[in-house]
Amino acid sequence: MRQTIVRALEEVYGNLVHMIAEFLPRFLVMLIIIAIGLLAAVVLKYILRALLGLTKLDRVSDDAGASRVLRMAHLPPMTELLSRSIFWVTWIGFILVGLSVLRVAGLQEQISRLFQFLPEVFVAILILFLGAVIANFLSRTALLAAVNAGHPSPKILSWSIRFVIWILAISMTLEELGVARQTVISAFSIIFGASMLGLAIAFGLGGQDLARKCLERYLGDTKEKEDKEPQPL
């Protein structure tokens, strides 16, 4: 009886030593991978920051209105955001690779799924960024054109364009991430269709005078309008 207990304890001890002997090198490898990852992430961060500084991305981002969106969300400027993102993505990638070295049951499958999902997250962020840039540019173009043409409600026109592009960008982002795909498409169709129908009805019925004026302005005789302002040159 006593010998059996001692043998069992020796066996458990042996297994433990064997496990530790197997685990420790892997753990050390993991730590090394994480440390290398940290170094690589820092290097990449500084390289990207320098490159983006050369391309004056912050100015482009500001011009496109993306900086304002970032400030509203209490996020850093575009260059800093992208450099920090590359740092964290790189380091997290190395951490996950390091964790996979431990060969913990079930963890490897989750890690590989996470890696598969990363490109979609990047594409989604890119879609949102481009959406913000395009929405800001086009809404400002519309605002300037409407103001300079003497349109009675330039801000409404400008905000409508911004709203439609944001809705489109958000829908595309959610679809890219695979979040309630059917619901998103249906919701977008309903919101977009309803907005357009509402605007058409509002313009045609509620704003008959405005509609008439607009049509007269664009289709009518422009001679009268030209005589009202002095020749600039």
Partner 1 sequence: MAEDVLLSDDLLSQLMSVGEVDLLVGMSSHNTANTVSHLDAIEESFQRNFVRQRVVIVNVASRDKGEDSVVAKGPGNLAEAGVRLPGITSLRTSHRVTANVAGPPSPGIALRTILAAADLLRARACAVVSPAGSNLHPDSVANLLRPVYREKFDYVAPLYTRNKYQGLLARNLLYPMSRALFGCGIRELFSDEWGFSGRLAALCLNQDVWHEQAIQARPEAWMAISAISSDFRCCQAFLGEKSQATKGLGTDIVEVLRQTVGTLFWCLETQQSWRLERGRSQPVPTFGPAHELTSDPTDLDRHRIFEMFRSGVTELEPILSSILDPETHSEIKSIVALAEGKFRFKSDIWVRTLYDFAASYHHAVINRDHLVQALAPLYRGMTYSFLVEHSDSSPAEMEAASEMLCDEFVLQKPYLMERWKAKVEVKS
Task: Show the CA angle centred on residue 158, arms to residues 123 and 173, nearest 5°.
Answer: 15
Q: What are phi and psi of 44, to 5 degrees?
A: -60, -40
Question: Which one of residues 77, 86, 93, 168 is an interface residue with partner 1 (CB under 8 A)?
Answer: 77
Stretch 45-64 residues interacting with partner 1 (CB under 8 A): 58-59, 62-63
Task: Show the CA angle centred on residue 148, arms to residues 160 and 133, nearest 5°.
Answer: 45
State in angstroms the smallest separation of the CB of 104 from partner 1.
46
Pairwise CA distance, residues 129 & 107, whole Å = 33
Query: If we measure between CA atoms, which residue out of 58, 53, 60 comes closest to residue 136?
Result: 60
Pairwise CA distance, residues 136 & 162, whole Å = 7
Question: Which one of residues 68, 103, 181, 217 is an interface residue with partner 1 (CB under 8 A)?
Answer: 68
> Does 221 participate in binding partner 1 (rule CB under 8 A)?
no
Question: Which one of residues 108, 125, 154, 211 is an interface residue with partner 1 (CB under 8 A)?
Answer: 154
> Does 74 participate in binding partner 1 (rule CB under 8 A)?
no
> Does 67 participate in binding partner 1 (rule CB under 8 A)?
yes
Question: Which one of residues 7, 71, 212, 217 is an interface residue with partner 1 (CB under 8 A)?
Answer: 71
> Does 141 participate in binding partner 1 (rule CB under 8 A)?
yes
Find the distance separating the first CA and the last CA of the chain, reported in whole Å: 113
State in angstroms the smallest separation of the CB of 50 from partner 1.
18
State in angstroms the smallest separation of the CB of 138 from partner 1.
11
Question: How many residues at the interface with partner 1, by CB under 8 A?
Answer: 29
- Residue 36 has which token pair? 């290398």
**CB-based contacts of 99-106 (< 8 A; 24+ apart in sequence):** 99/30, 101/26, 101/29, 101/30, 101/33, 102/23, 102/26, 102/27, 102/30, 103/26
Question: Which one of residues 24, 144, 197, 201 is an interface residue with partner 1 (CB under 8 A)?
Answer: 144
Is the Cα torsion angle 155, 169, 196, 138 positive or negative in sign? positive
Which of residues 71 and 103 has its CB atom nearest to partner 1 in the complex? 71
State in angstroms the smallest separation of the CB of 191 from partner 1.
26
- CB-based contact 37:98 (threshold 8 Å): yes
Which of residues 106 and 232 has its CB atom nearest to partner 1 in the complex? 232
> Does 228 participate in binding partner 1 (rule CB under 8 A)?
yes
Segment interacting with partner 1 (CB under 8 A) among 7-15, 87-95, 105-113, 221-229: 221-229
DSSP 202: I
Name the site residues for partner 1 (rule: CB under 8 A).
58-59, 62-63, 65, 67-68, 71, 77, 137, 140-141, 143-145, 147-148, 150, 154-155, 225-233
